[in-house]
Every structure is written in structure tokens, then in C-alpha cells.
């Protein structure tokens, strides 16, 4: 796999923890300059310090992806500081729903859709023209296996991730001849702080989550980061409009 990343610039949203942080670190390890973005200033700045401690280059820009002005500012700051945007991992997302569809609330629906769908749309809205103007680029959006099938008791979340895949595929076709590739990663259950918070009260649920995956364990943030880097690499130059499951075989059942 060709990993010609040195000298390039990547933006990662939701990079203050979990998959976003792991991907920012992985980009930096390949020689990229990374623009770390999150609503969590403490987490985002901690990611920058980790990158710098390893000899990499990174800056933090606070961004609430539900706010158009914030997203526009993030992209403007990237171009102002580094003059280009080669890769974007639109990772910011939330998961706050654990109940049957009819038990959901309007506030819950609006919150999930605002971050997971509008946030991805806004990011691409401002990333795509920059990439087209410079002659190309790669966008990877964070979806989920919940966007590839059903997710009982997470119907709003599932709908949001189906929407991310729809945005991804549509943008990929619209911009294919502009040399901008757009793909999505679709993780299953991954060992993140969010996962640990959800299951720390009942270890039996964590064991069940592991058993759901045919490989017999949950995934790691580094494994998802590797998938993102692959989709950005020259080794994936003929891949666009794809939703890549990173799921330990879950969707093969």
C-alpha cells in the first residue's frame, strides 16, 4: 500500500478522543500536518500535545460541526495556516439513544441529526470546493455498521448513519471527475471511552458486545484509523463512494 502522505495536510473533526484522536495520531505518524478539531478544547489540545510529543505537527481549532460559521472558520484557518487541505476525516458524531423508536424524543432526534448528518454535510460543503480548487483530495466520513442495516433501540442513530452513507455516495459521484474521492468507514463496536461508559455498569453487556462480532472481540480505535488511512492512500486510488465495514465480520452474518 502506497502511503505518500508526507507534506500533506489533514483535518480531523471529533479528534479530542477515541477514533478521531487515534486517526489524528496515525496521520501525524505518516508525516502529515494535522488540524485537530473538536468542541472539547481540553481533549483536542491533549491530542495536539500527543502529536507534538511524537515529533509531529498539529494545531487545534475548536469547531462545533453543527454551526456553519464554525465549520467555515475551521476550513479558513486550515488554508490560512497551511495553504492546502488534502485529507478530511469527518468523524464528529454522537450516540445518545438507547430505546425503542416510539420512546424517542424530538430533542434527541434533532441533536443526533444535527451532529451526525448536518455536521458531515457542512464539513463537505466547505471541504469540497477547497479540494477541487487545488486539484484533488480525499474525504472519509464516519458512518457505522448501523448505517448498513438495522440497529434496534438505536433507530435515530441508524437513520443518521444511513444518511451519512447517502451523502458519501452522492458526493463521490458528483466529484469523481474533479479528482476528489469520498468514502465512509463503518465501524462496529469499538473500544472507546463512549463504549466503556455505556458498559462499565454491566460487564455482561460488554461480553455480549464482544460475542456479537464473529472474530470474538470488539475493535480498537487504531484499527479504524488504519482503515481511514488506507482509504486516503494511493493504494485506494480507485475506491470512491464506498462504505467500508470495519466490523470483525459482523455484516457478513
Indicate which residues carry an active-site annotation.
Answer: 157
Comparing CA positions, the residue from 165, 195, 192, 188 lying closest to residue 249 is 188
In whole angstroms, how large is the CA radius of gyration of the chain? 17
CB atoms within 10 A of CB 63: 29
Q: Dihedral, CA atoms, 150, 121, 231, 189, nearest 10 degrees?
A: -30
d(CA 15, CA 252): 30
Classify residue 38 as exposed, middle or buried by CB count within 10 Å of its CB (0-12, 13-18, 19+).
Answer: buried
* φ, ψ for residue 213, nearest 5 deg: -85, 130
Handedness of CA 125, 111, 143, 70 (dihedral sign): positive
Residue with cell 464516519: 142
Helix 68-82 / helix 119-134 crossing angle, nearest 10 deg: 30
Please state whether beta strands 9-12 and 33-38 pair in parallel, antiparallel, or not at all (unpaired).
parallel
Amino acid at each position: 500500500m502506497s502511503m505518500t502522505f508526507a507534506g500533506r495536510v489533514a483535518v480531523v473533526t471529533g479528534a479530542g478522543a477515541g477514533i478521531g484522536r487515534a486517526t489524528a495520531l496515525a496521520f501525524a505518524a505518516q508525516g502529515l500536518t494535522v488540524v485537530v478539531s473538536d468542541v472539547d478544547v481540553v481533549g483536542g489540545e491533549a491530542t495536539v500535545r500527543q502529536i507534538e510529543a511524537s515529533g509531529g505537527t498539529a494545531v487545534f481549532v475548536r469547531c462545533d460541526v453543527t454551526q456553519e460559521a464554525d465549520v467555515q472558520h475551521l476550513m479558513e484557518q486550515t488554508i490560512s495556516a497551511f495553504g492546502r487541505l488534502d485529507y478530511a476525516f469527518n468523524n464528529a458524531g454522537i450516540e445518545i439513544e438507547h430505546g425503542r423508536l416510539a420512546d424517542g424524543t424530538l430533542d434527541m432526534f434533532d441533536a443526533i441529526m444535527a451532529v451526525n448528518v448536518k455536521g458531515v454535510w457542512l464539513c463537505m460543503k466547505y471541504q469540497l470546493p477547497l479540494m477541487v480548487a487545488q486539484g484533488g483530495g480525499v474525504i472519509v466520513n464516519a458512518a457505522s455498521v448501523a448505517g448498513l442495516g438495522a440497529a434496534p433501540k438505536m433507530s435515530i442513530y441508524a437513520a443518521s448513519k444511513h444518511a451519512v452513507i447517502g451523502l458519501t455516495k452522492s458526493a463521490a459521484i458528483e466529484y469523481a471527475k474533479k479528482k476528489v474521492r469520498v468514502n465512509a468507514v463503518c465501524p462496529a463496536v469499538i473500544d472507546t471511552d463512549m463504549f466503556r461508559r455505556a458498559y462499565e455498569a454491566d460487564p455482561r453487556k460488554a461480553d455480549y458486545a464482544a460475542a456479537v462480532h464473529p472474530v470474538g472481540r470488539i475493535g480498537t480505535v487504531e484499527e479504524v484509523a488504519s482503515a481511514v488511512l488506507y482509504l486516503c492512500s494511493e493504494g485506494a486510488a480507485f475506491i470512491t463512494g464506498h462504505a467500508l465495514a470495519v466490523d470483525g465480520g459482523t455484516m457478513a452474518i
